[in-house]
Amino acid sequence: MENLRQNEEIPKLYRDGDGPDVVITAGGTREMIDDVRSISNISTGALGAALAEYYYRRGNKVLLLAPQPVFNMCPTLSHEETWGVTRGRFEAFESAADLRRLLLGVSSARLVLHAAAVSDYIPVKVDGKIPSDEEEITLRLKRAPKILAELRDHFGDDATIVGFKLLSGASEEELIRAGTDQISKNQTDYCIANDLSERGSRLPPRSKRVAHVVYPDGSHDTVRTGEFEQGVARFIAETIDI
């Protein structure tokens, strides 16, 4: 999208050698339709928040990029102007453009976990406010650039980069194939793939939820856990140890 790319000043948030070990994106983006309305998605950011907590407790310097409400899910992280003793930083975003500027403003990281649910399509924004008395309106959406596709060139070959893939109504075979395709297209190291039917209130209490850690060769490990976000975050933190 032009509005994400043209003439952008990407801030350099952290100097080389003074940045995070782990960068985590979480939560959904919100894109404006007109001056007062927006579209978003159902992502809560809970998995990204759980990942931030796990890596923080392991002693890493963690930068969490997420919408403001996600920060309330991170009780052991504190917002500090410097890394200091807490080793934790927050930066808030709303739109895909916000997130891209923040993420590409980080000079370096050893591990990037791109768990944010970024809009695949962005509205062609209408100036002012769409009248509220119309019986029907038509929204135009344009394809958004894939932030994940930019991360390897930006962070370099030494960084471990993890993408996330959520499908709905997919078989395990389809999930693994989608995860492998994502790794191949974006030169990432892992993909965490799961289906919407395996999350949240869509399953009975105490039932096991499933996610797959997919590797570049198409092999995968499967996580089955009663507490989806905590269980998957724990497995990822133990599997991808920096």
Query: pLDDT tens-digit profile of 16-67?
Result: 567 789 999 999 999 999 999 999 999 999 999 999 999 998 989 999 999 9
Distance of CA 73 to the CA centre of its chain: 15
d(CA 116, CA 63): 13
Could you say which DSSP state residue 37 is in?
-
- CATH number of the domain that residue 232 is part of: 3.40.50.10300
Q: Which residue has the higher pLDDT, 86 or 179?
A: 179
Number of domains into which the chain is organized: 1
Query: pLDDT tens-digit profile of 124-163?
Result: 999 999 999 989 999 999 999 899 999 999 999 999 999 9
At 56, list the tokens: 């923080």
Scanning the structure block, which residue is given the tokens 């976990």?
A: 113
Torsion angle in degrees (nearest 10) through CA of 48, 94, 10, 13: -50
Domain that holds residue 216: 2-239
What does the pLDDT read at residue 4? 41
